[in-house]
Amino acid sequence: ARSPPPPRRIPPRHLSKHAQEGYAVDWSPVAEGCLLAGDCAGAIKLSLPGEGGRWRDDAEAFDAAGSSVEDLQWSPVEANVFSSGGTDGLLRVWDTRKKGAAAIAVKAHDQDINVLSWSRQTTCMLASGCDDGSFKVWDLRSFQQSGHIAHLTYHHAPVTSIEWCPHDSAMLATSSADDQLAVWDLSLERDAEEEAMAMEEGEGTKVKADELPPQLLFLHLGQKDLKELRWHLQIP
């Protein structure tokens, strides 16, 4: 029998050199071909498409003050604005036209910020997932340290992924190192009467209704080591 041909190696079209490894990358949904990449040394590099299919790095990197950059999110509507979250718990908003410090920086969490999601339906809303298992929702029109509009806790381990639903502006999903994927509806509020009825119907349940956030809509269990989630763009 003939041996299979050796695997074909496809060289990278572009290589952005960082001082250390990194995990945060994001393509701009507004400016075609613009790519951000962050590393564990706190450097964020912007790569831009050039002539002849070539790429170039912006001359000066953005500096997150030495804090490892865990996630990056471009603004869904502004070509020059992006956000970053890192191990210092700071949520930063940057303007690519201004090098140096971030345009805005807020101490969003007491532990690492692992993941971010910028809503493409309500474009002033930004969500941040933390190492302590909680996540916060921020309104960038009133962005300040105590200015989050929601702080929801359910997960018992670090949040590993977070994403707004593309079909409903009030819904988002989170996954966690506790092997649970949660779907949230921020428009829901606690209904004591409905919870009492549910407790009567579900006698013997291990979790009481008042121990669960009312915004927790659905739980998916059974998978291990959940790292990333994505909504289907065509199917709600």
Q: What is the DSSP string of the chain?
A: -PPPPPPPP---S-----SS---EEEE-SSSTT-EEEE-TTSEEEEEEE-GGG-EEE-SS-EE-TT--EEEEEE-SS-TTEEEEEETT-EEEEEETTS-SS-SEEEE--SS-EEEEEE-SSSTTEEEEEETTSEEEEEEGGG-STT-EEEEEE--SS-EEEEEE-SS-TTEEEEEETTS-EEEEETT----HHHHHHHHHHTTT-SS-GGGS-TTEEEEE-S-SS-------SS--
pLDDT in tens, 154-178: 999 999 999 999 999 999 999 999 9
What is the pLDDT averaged over residues 92-102? 91
pTM of the model: 0.86
pLDDT at residue 203, as a whole number:
52
Cβ neighbours of residue 187 under 8 Å, at least 6 residues apart? 170
pLDDT at residue 149, as a whole number:
94
pLDDT in tens, 127-158: 999 999 999 999 999 888 778 999 999 999 99
pLDDT over 80 at 223, yes or no: yes
Which residue do the tokens 């930063």 mark?
Answer: 92
pLDDT at residue 69, as a whole number:
97
pLDDT over 60 at 206, yes or no: no
pLDDT at residue 99, as a whole number:
81
Q: 2 falls in which pLDDT band (50, 70, 90)?
A: confident
pLDDT over 70 at 231, yes or no: yes
What is the pLDDT averaged over residues 170-197? 89
Ramachandran class of 218: left when φ > 0, alpha when ψ lies in -120 to 50, beta otherwise? beta
pLDDT in tens, 59-84: 788 999 889 999 999 999 999 999 99
